């Protein structure tokens, strides 16, 4: 198979042996695979993959066909930017009929991350106020739509694409406090987040692109009786990821199938231009996903 392989901070197309499924795994012929922040960090040597994942082939999500021709999309620990990938069957979902390959290839990682952070961890409830900082990327766009679908009042902040966010149901940014704040930007936002947090509010940190450190006034956190927690998805156990996918299948896949949530795709690139896809992702200013298509 052909694969995008990391060499000294860059990607190069190489031929690698076809992967062989192990017990409980299926083989997918990849049709599309989203680019994520962790992939760009791995290319730069700053995010080593978990044990068992390919050490030099990135790609945390994909969509493709099984050997029987079934359309599936998958959450991966790595290896998705290749023509073939093996994945445990419990980490896959069926692709709804109307969903295109690029949309399916950019769905799982973003929506799994957003859904887990908002509902499993922050326990967002209907009628609550949600603030998504960094809302124009793949996870942010997913979080805005999931919050709206759950009946929350959603505000999304981004340097660009405010009109597009409002078209997904986000409200113009009002003053006031928020019950849940999903932080995708990082440390520079922490103080403002604490000031805007409602009593018993929750801050979920899942991105640190603008900085991983911040000072905190614990008195303000205590006065709000607030909670701050962080999360990553890639390093979790197979069983934990299977539970995330189960929740996605039950609670989000019907929304995708009905068109109530969607996967905006900013741009697609063929596999032999994977380096360009990563550079486009790193340049910022996108709305939704960058996807590699095969």
Considering the domain architecture, whether residues 102 and 241 belong to the same structural domain is answered as: yes
pLDDT of residue 102: 98
CATH number at residue 122: 3.40.50.720
Considering the domain architecture, whether residues 121 and 216 belong to the same structural domain is answered as: yes
pLDDT of residue 39: 97
Q: pLDDT, tens digit, for every residue of 111-125?
A: 999 999 999 999 999
What are the DSSP calls for the chain, one per residue?
Answer: -EEEEEETTEEEEEE-PPP---TTEEEEEEEEEEE-HHHHHHHTTSSPPPTTS-SS---SEEEEE-TT--EEEEE-SS--SBSEEEEEGGGEEEPPTT--HHHHHTTHHHHHHHHIIIIIIS---TT-EEEEESTTBHHHHHHHHHHHHTT-EEEEE-SS-HHHHHHTTPBP--SS-EEEEEESS-GGGHHHHHHHEEEEEEEEE---TT-S-----HHHHHHHT-EEEE--STTS-HHHHHHHHHHHHHHTHHHHHTTSS---EEEEEEGGGHHHHHHHHHH---SBEEEEE-
pLDDT over 90 (residue 216): no
Considering the domain architecture, whether residues 226 and 120 belong to the same structural domain is answered as: yes
**Mean confidence (pLDDT) of the chain:** 96
CATH number at residue 238: 3.90.180.10
Structural domain containing residue 256: 2-107+234-293
Considering the domain architecture, whether residues 119 and 146 belong to the same structural domain is answered as: yes
Considering the domain architecture, whether residues 89 and 146 belong to the same structural domain is answered as: no
Q: Which of 192, 214, 230 is the last residue of a domain?
A: 230
Considering the domain architecture, whether residues 64 and 122 belong to the same structural domain is answered as: no
Q: Which of 195, 230, 265 is the last residue of a domain?
A: 230
Q: pLDDT, tens digit, for every residue of 61-85?
A: 999 999 999 999 999 999 999 999 9
pLDDT over 80 (residue 175): no
Total domains in the fold of the chain: 2
In which band, very low, low, confident or very high, does the pLDDT at 16 lie, cut at 50, 70 and 90?
A: very high
Considering the domain architecture, whether residues 166 and 194 belong to the same structural domain is answered as: yes
Considering the domain architecture, whether residues 245 and 282 belong to the same structural domain is answered as: yes
Q: What percent of the chain has pLDDT over 90?
A: 92
Q: Which of 186, 203, 230 is the last residue of a domain?
A: 230
Q: pLDDT, tens digit, for every residue of 151-174?
A: 999 999 998 999 999 999 999 877
pLDDT of residue 52: 87
pLDDT over 90 (residue 192): yes
């Amino acid at each position: 198979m052909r694969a995008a392989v990391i060499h000294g901070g860059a990607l190069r197309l190489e031929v690698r042996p076809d992967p062989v499924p192990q017990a409980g795994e299926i083989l997918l012929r990849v049709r599309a695979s989203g680019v994520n922040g962790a992939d760009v960090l791995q290319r730069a040597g700053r995010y080593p993959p978990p044990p068992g994942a390919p050490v030099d082939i990135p790609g945390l999500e994909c969509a493709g066909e099984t050997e029987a021709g079934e359309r599936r999309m998958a959450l991966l620990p790595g290896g998705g930017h290749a023509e073939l990938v093996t994945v445990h069957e419990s980490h896959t979902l069926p692709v709804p009929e109307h969903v295109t390959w690029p949309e399916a290839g950019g769905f799982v990682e973003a929506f799994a991350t957003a859904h887990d952070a908002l509902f499993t961890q922050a326990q967002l409830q209907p009628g609550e106020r949600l603030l998504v900082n960094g809302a124009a990327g793949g996870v942010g766009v997913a979080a805005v739509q999931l919050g709206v679908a759950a009946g929350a009042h959603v505000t999304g902040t981004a340097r660009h694409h405010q009109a597009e966010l409002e078209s997904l149901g986000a409200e113009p940014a009002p003053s006031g406090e928020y019950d849940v704040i999903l932080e995708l930007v990082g440390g520079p936002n922490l103080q403002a987040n604490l000031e805007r947090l409602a009593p018993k509010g929750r801050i979920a940190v899942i991105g640190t692109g603008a900085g991983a450190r911040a000072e905190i006034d614990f008195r303000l956190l205590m006065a709000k009786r607030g909670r701050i927690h962080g999360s990553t998805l890639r390093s979790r156990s197979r069983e934990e990821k299977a539970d995330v996918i189960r929740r996605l299948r039950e609670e989000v896949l019907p929304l995708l199938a009905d068109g109530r949530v969607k996967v905006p795709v900013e741009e697609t690139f063929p596999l032999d231009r994977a380096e360009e896809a990563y550079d486009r992702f790193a340049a910022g200013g996108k709305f939704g996903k960058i996807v590699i298509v095969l």
